[in-house]
């Protein structure tokens, strides 16, 4: 067995991504040398037998990698896996501040690769990917049984190249084929704006190297504009760098109060506390949803349990474990779960998520599936895509006459009206630019009629007036 060098101890690794920063918390350096032990005799015997007697030449590196992969598969832990040299290289690229891909956080769950959250402004978001979408195939090749690291190598790619994902979505009978053009993933992570009556909204899309700095700048600008209350939007935030989450949590949690705890296998618990004595006294509410994971859950739990900040939206994703990563001398890598993190009150949210104080869902049309622009929807067409298009037209105020998936003359009239209003060729056929524009306007409509934001404003006003 080869010796391996201990490279970095990661605390709170966000799920492996297909084009997004992976969070790292470095604790220290050291060595760990594997010693020869009797329990490995069976492994050696199997290796030697295959190497000598298999009917064709065995690739030693491939066989050893397979054996290590088998060890990690046996743990039945989606956050523990072995990465060969290529996968490890992708893993380390994710730690850098610049990357190219589709911009979606993915995770292996029960043999499936699922979307945790698309990133704001990313190709994944623009193409209509949603949390909990299952990726069945990439460019026609099945990825069933792959771990997240393996799947990433198929999904990621250079800016401008295309990748086609075959998606299974809950509540949709047919699979969806979504073509995405890879791009540079936006590294800006904080978006601030004034809403109404002195209420400001700041969205944090992930916790990257400069997130705290970006947030402080945004808050300062909003203060100058007369901010009286703040909505902190952590929806669709898959996590990121833990130190950033700690710094940001400390902005809103009183000095000395617990942010989170870490419990090891022996039951030993270490507490992490707020170290900022200049906390803001601006009334605050926080938005979460099923795409809020990892570091964003630490922040949400910290402000909820240590600062009595109301949470609004939907139950969060639920990741409450801690991982270690180690590099082998040949460039391969392994990461595995070492402990779990707990909320300030000692709650373990793993696979449970954080329940908001005010449960509010987005309108049903916010979950409408993606329509492939390559498909031609016209009179006499009958499909789920037509049904989705009819529902989208209805949302935008165009009457298709029916919403059962059959494209008739009334639906054509609605499409023509939509095309005329958007300066597109008014041919009554949904394809290409018309389909893309339809989906874009529905997304804009969802943003303008955001029921979760509306509830946040309502709650925040009561806090301001209190």
Residues involved in catalysis: 294, 305, 319
249 in Cβ contact with 259 (< 8 Å): yes
Q: Where are the beta strands (DSSP E) in 258-405?
A: 258-264, 269-273, 284-288, 311-313, 321-327, 333-342, 358-359
Compute φ and ψ for 397, nearest 5 degrees: 95, 10
Among residues 80, 84, 71, which one has the least CA distance to residue 42? Answer: 71
Q: Which residues share a beta bridge with 270?
A: 262
Q: Where are the beta strands (DSSP E) in 151-290?
A: 162-168, 176-181, 183-184, 190-196, 199-204, 229-233, 258-264, 269-273, 284-288
**Distances from the Cα of 85 to the Cα of 29, 79, 266, 333, angstroms:** 21, 18, 33, 7
| Neighbour tally for 172: CB within 10 Å | 16
**Cα atoms in the 13 Å half-sphere on the side-chain side of 393:** 30
Residue 148 DSSP one-character state? H
Distance between CA 54 and CA 291 in Å, rounded?
47
- For residue 406, count CB atoms less than 10 angstroms from its CB and return exposed for 0-12, middle for 13-18, buried for 19 or more: middle
Q: 397: left (phi > 0), else alpha (psi -120 to 50), else beta? A: left
């Amino acid at each position: 067995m080869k010796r391996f060098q201990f490279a970095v101890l990661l605390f709170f690794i966000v799920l492996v991504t297909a084009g997004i920063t992976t969070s790292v918390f470095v604790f220290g350096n050291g060595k760990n040398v594997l010693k020869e032990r009797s329990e490995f005799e069976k492994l050696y015997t199997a290796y030697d037998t295959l190497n000598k007697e298999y009917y064709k030449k065995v690739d030693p590196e491939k066989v050893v990698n397979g054996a290590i992969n088998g060890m990690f598969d046996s743990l039945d832990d989606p956050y523990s896996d072995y990465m060969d040299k290529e996968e490890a290289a992708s893993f380390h690229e994710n730690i850098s501040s610049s990357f190219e891909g589709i911009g979606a956080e993915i995770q292996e769950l029960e043999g499936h690769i699922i979307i945790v959250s698309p990133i704001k402004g990313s190709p994944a978001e623009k193409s209509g990917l949603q949390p909990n979408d299952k990726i069945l195939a990439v460019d026609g090749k099945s990825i069933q049984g792959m771990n997240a690291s393996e799947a990433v190598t198929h999904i990621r790619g250079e800016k401008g190249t295309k990748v086609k994902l075959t998606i299974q979505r809950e509540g949709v009978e047919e699979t969806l084929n979504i073509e995405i053009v890879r791009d540079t993933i936006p590294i800006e992570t904080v978006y601030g704006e004034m809403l109404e009556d002195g209420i400001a909204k700041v969205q944090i899309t992930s916790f990257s190297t400069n997130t705290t700095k970006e947030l402080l700048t945004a808050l300062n600008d909003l203060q100058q504009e007369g901010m009286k209350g703040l909505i902190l939007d952590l929806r669709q935030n898959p996590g990121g760098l833990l130190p950033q989450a700690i710094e940001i949590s400390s902005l809103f949690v009183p000095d000395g109060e617990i942010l989170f705890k870490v419990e090891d296998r022996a039951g030993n618990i270490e507490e992490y506390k707020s170290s900022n004595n200049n906390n803001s006294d601006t009334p605050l509410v926080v938005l979460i949803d099923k795409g809020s994971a990892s570091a964003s859950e630490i922040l949400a739990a910290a402000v909820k349990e240590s600062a009595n900040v109301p949470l609004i939206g939907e139950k969060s994703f639920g990741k409450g474990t801690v991982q270690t990563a180690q590099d082998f001398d040949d460039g391969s890598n392994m990461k595995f779960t070492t402990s779990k993190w707990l909320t300030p009150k000692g709650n373990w949210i793993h696979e449970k998520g954080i329940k908001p104080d005010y449960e509010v869902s987005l309108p049903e049309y916010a979950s409408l599936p993606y329509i492939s622009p390559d498909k031609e929807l016209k009179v006499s067409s009958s499909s789920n895509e037509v049904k989705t298009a009819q529902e989208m037209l209805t949302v935008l105020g165009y009457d298709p006459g029916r919403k059962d998936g059959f494209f008739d003359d009334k639906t054509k009239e609605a499409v023509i009206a939509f095309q005329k209003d958007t300066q597109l060729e008014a041919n009554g056929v949904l394809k290409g630019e018309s389909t893309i524009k339809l989906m874009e306007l529905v997304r804009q409509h969802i943003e303008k009629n955001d029921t979760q934001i509306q509830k946040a404003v309502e709650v925040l006003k009561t806090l301001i007036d209190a």
